[in-house]
Amino acid sequence: DGGITQSPKYLFRKEGQNVTLSCEQNLNHDAMYWYRQDPGQGLRLIYYSQIVNDFQKGDIAEGYSVSREKKESFPLTVTSAQKNPTAFYLCASSDRGAYEQYFGPGTRLTVT
Amino acid sequence: QQQVKQSPQSLIVQKGGIPIINCAYENTAFDYFPWYQQFPGKGPALLIAIRPDVSEKKEGRFTISFNKSAKQFSLHIMDSQPGDSATYFCAASGAAGNKLTFGGGTRVLVKP
């Protein structure tokens, strides 16, 4: 069953703690992306990676970090430097040379 | 330059009606325009997409109209059903494997 998995579905953390969100894909896609979605708003790009061991900042990278050590995995760390971390986080992937991006089910992070 | 503006923010139609969602972009380098459908608490699903070399594309009950000179594109949902009630996002990209810039979303409610 091919697809993108994100875990956990819901995550709760205290302010000041770093937290890592998981994203795994078995579609053999080269590119992977992290987006943030706030209530009633569109998606904003945090980081993206077009190949293993390489990634670029998106529009709202401050307070986040990523790694891309394996093709199938692209974890996102929300650091304590992120001012408003509570949001719905979406991971996506796309094939080499393809425009279509496919999304995972998302992780809802709540920081109090 | 990178913005995609989407309207309206919300839309209510009766079953069988034709919701129309409009998007406008500024960056003439954009050459891929997808629409995504998102249900509450889920990740967005790719619905239909168009490239600027065609003015219209149909897939089932969903139609994209594209006006390159006006830098606008729209989604029409023919014979809308209550199951089409969701949030719809337009997006644009300038290159394969590159980031998507999203509109703000339109919440569509189809009444039975």
**What are the residues whose beta carbons fall under 8 Å from the beta carbon of B110, sequence distance 6 or more?**
B13, B14, B15, B17, B19, B80, B81, B82, B83, B84, B85
Within a 10 A sphere around the Cβ of A63, how many other Cβ atoms?
15
Among the partner-chain residues B49, B93, B103, the one whose CB lies closest to the CB of A42 is B103
**What are the residues whose beta carbons fall under 8 Å from the beta carbon of A2, sequence distance 6 or more?**
A26, A27
Angle, vertex CA A55, rays to CA A52 and CA A27, nearest 5? 50
pLDDT of residue B98: 77
Give the best residue of B27, B36, B88, B98 to mutate against chain A (max A CB count within 10 A): B98
B70 touches chain A (CB under 8 A): no
CB distance B45–A103 less than 8 Å? yes
pLDDT of residue A40: 78
Q: Which residue of B has its CA nearest to A94?
A: B97
pLDDT digits (tens, 9 = 90+) for A16-33: 999 999 999 999 999 999
Residue B107 pLDDT > 80: yes
pLDDT of residue B2: 60
pLDDT of residue A39: 85
User: What rounded mean pLDDT belongs to chain B?
Assistant: 94
Residue B87 pLDDT > 90: yes
Residues from chain A contacting residue B103 (CB–CB below 8 Å): 42
pLDDT of residue B95: 74
pLDDT bin (cut points 50, 70, 90) of residue A1 is low
Angle, vertex CA A2, rays to CA A8 and CA A21, nearest 5? 20
The one-letter amino acid code at B83 reads: G
Angle, vertex CA A30, rays to CA A25 and CA A34, nearest 5? 60
CB distance B102–A43 less than 8 Å? yes
Among the partner-chain residues B43, B89, B93, the one whose CB lies closest to the CB of A104 is B43
Calculate mean pLDDT across residues A62-89.
95
Residue B3 pLDDT > 60: yes
Angle, vertex CA B95, rays to CA B58 and CA A74, nearest 5? 100
Q: Kindly tell me the burial class for residue A105, based on how many C-beta atoms sit within 10 Å of its own C-beta (0-12, 13-18, 19 or more).
A: middle
Among the partner-chain residues B6, B43, B97, the one whose CB lies closest to the CB of A103 is B43
Closest chain B C-alpha to A32 CA, distance in angstroms? 9
Residue B34 pLDDT > 70: yes
pLDDT bin (cut points 50, 70, 90) of residue B22 is very high
Report DSSP letters for chain B, one per residue: ---EEEE-SEEEEETT---EEEEEE--TT--BEEEEEE-TTS--EEEEEE-TT-SEEEETTEEEEEETTTTEEEEEETT--GGG-EEEEEEEBSSTTS--EE---EEEEEE-
pLDDT of residue B96: 64
pLDDT digits (tens, 9 = 90+) for B39-83: 999 999 999 999 999 999 999 999 999 999 999 999 999 999 999
